[in-house]
């Protein structure tokens, strides 16, 4: 595992990138402020988590969107490095067109073509103490959150810690579906978290991925996440500076 070599991590303001950066020895954080300086160095491992997460097709600033999603990836693979890990998404399996999906596929293609020793992790919903506001966040923080999602909506969940550990292994290359063993309904998630959600009508369905590499089930991940946040109760205090995952 990479633990003593120089590791560059992007997307460190929140979410997975923040977790990896804070829990990996000799790691370096890429931000908007230090981008020019950081991109002049060389690294043993690059873990690229940063991405413009807006999934709508109504893009306000096209340059910023392309720069965050594609141009930065191209700059990173041109750095001197020994290994490159790119965090992609199960959204690439969605039917139809979306800017988010195709930006991910473009970045995957860049990494596959130009990076050294590349690993692309297609991940589902991720959980950790630094998650951005989402359905689970609302179930935990609000008394009776009114959701747009139907109780039969399905999700697949993995923990930040599990993604980080896998990314540092240096045993796999190519494209890997890092998903848990089986999906879980939102109704079951609400029950495990002792929530009191008011469900809506829209049914979201996460594709069932066979042969995922995470041996845990989504239900086990939810239970581990529940235990994690109870151990760190300060998580319930809203921290505005950690709610948006950008590089």
Distance in Å from the first CA to the final CA of the chain: 24
CA-CA distance, 71 to 110, in Å (whole number)? 10
Q: Is the pLDDT higher at 243 or at 188?
A: 188
The predicted-structure confidence for 102-153, as pLDDT tens digits, reads as follows 999 999 999 999 999 999 999 999 999 888 778 998 998 899 999 999 999 9
pLDDT tens digits along 194-237: 999 999 999 999 999 987 888 899 999 999 999 988 876 544 44
Q: What is the dihedral of CA 225, 200, 15, 44, to 10 degrees?
A: 100
Backbone phi, psi, residue 154, to 5°: -115, 145
Strands 154-155 and 184-185: antiparallel
CA gyration radius for the chain? 18
Specify the pLDDT at position 202: 97
CA–CA gap between residue 216 and residue 230 (Å, rounded): 20
Q: What is the three-class DSSP state of 86?
A: strand
pLDDT of residue 53: 67
What is residue 51's predicted lDDT score, i.e. its pLDDT?
A: 87
pLDDT value of position 136: 92
| pLDDT tens per residue across span 45-90 | 999 999 886 777 788 889 999 999 999 999 999 999 999 999 999 9
Q: Please count the helices (runs of H) and the strands (runs of E) in the chain.
A: 9, 10
The rounded mean pLDDT for the chain is 89
pLDDT of residue 153: 98
Gap between the Cα atoms of 195 and 189, Å rounded: 8
Beta strands at 154-155 and 174-177: parallel, antiparallel or unpaired: unpaired
- Would you call 19 helix, strand, or coil by DSSP? helix
Taking the alpha carbons of 92, 207, 84, 17 in that order, is the dihedral positive or negative? positive
Is there a contact between 222 and 189 (Cβ–Cβ < 8 Å)?
yes
Is a pLDDT exceeding 80 seen at residue 5? no
């Amino acid at each position: 595992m990479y633990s003593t070599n120089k590791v560059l991590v992007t997307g460190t303001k929140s979410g997975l990138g923040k977790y990896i950066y804070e829990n990996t020895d000799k790691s370096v954080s890429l931000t908007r402020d230090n981008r020019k300086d950081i991109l002049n160095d060389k690294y043993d491992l690059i873990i690229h988590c940063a991405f413009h997460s807006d999934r709508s097709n109504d893009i306000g600033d096209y340059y910023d969107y392309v720069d965050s999603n594609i141009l930065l990836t191209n700059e990173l693979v041109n750095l001197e490095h020994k290994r490159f890990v790119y965090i992609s998404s199960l959204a690439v399996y969605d039917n139809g067109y979306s800017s988010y999906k195709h930006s991910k596929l473009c970045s995957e293609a860049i990494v596959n073509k130009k990076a050294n020793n590349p690993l692309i992790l297609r991940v589902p919903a991720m959980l950790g103490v630094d998650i951005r506001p989402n359905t689970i966040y609302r179930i935990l923080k609000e008394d009776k959150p009114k959701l747009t999602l139907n109780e039969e909506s399905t999700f697949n969940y993995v923990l930040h810690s599990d993604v980080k550990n896998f990314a540092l292994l240096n045993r796999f290359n190519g494209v890997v579906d890092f998903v848990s063993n089986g999906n879980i309904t939102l109704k079951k998630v609400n029950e495990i978290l002792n929530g009191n959600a008011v469900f809506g009508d829209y049914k979201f369905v996460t594709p069932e991925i066979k042969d995922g590499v995470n041996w845990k089930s989504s239900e086990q991940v939810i239970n581990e996440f529940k235990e994690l946040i109870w151990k760190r109760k300060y998580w319930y205090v809203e921290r505005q500076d950690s709610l948006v995952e950008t590089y």
